[in-house]
Amino acid sequence: MAYSTISKSSLYFNTKLYSGTGSAQNITGVGFQPDFTWIKDRTNANSHMLVDAVRGATKVLASDANYAETTDANRVSAFTADGFNVGTNNNVNQSGANVCSWNWKAGGAGSANTDGSQNTTVSVNTTAGFSIVKWTGADSTASLGHGLGVVPKMIIAKRLATRAWTVYHVGVGANKKLVLNTNAAEASAADFDDTPTSSVINVGYTDDINGSGADYIAYCFAEKKGFSKFGKYRGNGNTDGMFAYTGFKPAFILAKIQGHTNNWYMFDSTRNTFNPTTQKLRADTSAAEATGTDKLIDILSNGFKMRSSDAEFNQVGNEYIYMAFAEEPLVANVGESIPATAR
């Protein structure tokens, strides 16, 4: 039986590496026109840059900081049919730097959504389970339409002024949150004051999520079989570590320990072309890419396996949440269903 209706994951998510030149350049090879692009200089301690089609390509946020949105065409100037254009800013194009970009396909600039108690602008790709939601806060509890048609399992949101990022994950649940721009442990909070539904996000009236007159953005992710997974695992403290089943060969993994002050770690199969992975970035810091024998994982045909006893990633008894996107499904619904192979 076919496992996934998404036969080519790279039509909806793709990692693109490029070299910084210091001069404006057109980055191609993404494979589609992205609607959400997350860029990190691997070589230097430059901030992560996040741009999307709803706010506009020139409007930048940093995952490792609580900075207000900045408009700067010298970072990303436009999305193109096969990628995006970068300017001369060091965060995205420092001369001699190795740079990584992660790209998602939504639905363009977005349109009005009236499903919730407050209106939103939503750019959505229901096939891939991804939407970008923008709204203006009302200083009250509210429901916000997200357009997915199914329940989102992870939401990454930010006030566009100087405020912290706030994260909902199904493994943490409502009335708690994580903060993307710090290594803080999960905390009780009213930001997401009820579990999201197939039509709306439920938010409280904190300044981080729905302050009066303030503008907000959220990246909403639902699980799609064979393409995306938002789960948790329990560490065993062993180099022959636990295995997280995703149902696909992962192309990208973002993971963080629960209940402790440790970083958000980012792995992908493009920077790490063979097992075990050794190249690590952290979403909550501007630090350059790290390499080494700690925090190792194997990327497999149907999930990922810990190959390190490191406390931040595989401490015995601790729980970790993750988000993962596919390089290819374990089995796809196309022609002859050929199973994915290990690396």
Output the CA–CA distances (angstroms, integers) from residue 141 to 69, 189, 195, 211, 331, in the order listed: 24, 13, 13, 10, 42
Between 33 and 242, name the one with better pLDDT: 33
Q: E-assigned strands of 160-270?
A: 165-169, 176-177, 187-188, 200-203, 215-221, 228-234, 243-245, 248-257, 265-268
Reported as a pLDDT band with limits 50, 70 and 90, residue 332 is low
pLDDT at 229 (0 to 100)? 97
Average of per-residue pLDDT across 113-128? 98
> What number of residues does the chain have?
343
Average of per-residue pLDDT across 311-325? 88
pLDDT tens digits, 66-84? 999 999 999 999 999 999 9
Going by the DSSP 8-state scheme, the letter that residue 42 receives in this structure is S
Reported as a pLDDT band with limits 50, 70 and 90, residue 7 is confident
Reported as a pLDDT band with limits 50, 70 and 90, residue 36 is very high
Which residues, including other chains, have CB under 8 Å from residue 99's CB and lie 6 or more apart? Answer: 17, 18, 19, 20, 39, 40, 41, 42, 43, 92, 93
pLDDT at 339 (0 to 100)? 63
pLDDT at 176 (0 to 100)? 94
Going by the DSSP 8-state scheme, the letter that residue 314 receives in this structure is H
Exposure string (b/e) for 206-233, b if CB count within 10 Å is 16 or more? bebbbbeebebbbbbbbbbbbbbbbbeb
pLDDT for residue 38 is more than 80: yes
Least-confidence region, from 131-135, 169-173, 295-299, 333-337: 333-337
pLDDT at 206 (0 to 100)? 93
pLDDT tens digits, 174-187? 999 999 999 999 99
pLDDT for residue 114 is more than 80: yes
pLDDT for residue 192 is more than 80: yes
Q: What percent of the chain has pLDDT over 90?
A: 80
pTM, full prediction: 0.95
Reported as a pLDDT band with limits 50, 70 and 90, residue 311 is confident
pLDDT at 334 (0 to 100)? 56
Reported as a pLDDT band with limits 50, 70 and 90, residue 1 is very low
Which residues, including other chains, have CB under 8 Å from residue 335's CB and lie 6 or more apart? Answer: none
Which residues, including other chains, have CB under 8 Å from residue 235's CB and lie 6 or more apart? Answer: 241, 242, 306, 313, 314, 315, 316, 317, 318, 319, 320
The residues pairing with 133 across neighbouring beta strands, listed in sequence order, are 122, 218
Read off the tokens for 331: 């089995």
Average of per-residue pLDDT across 117-143? 96
Mean pLDDT of the chain: 93
Q: What percent of the chain has pLDDT over 70?
A: 95
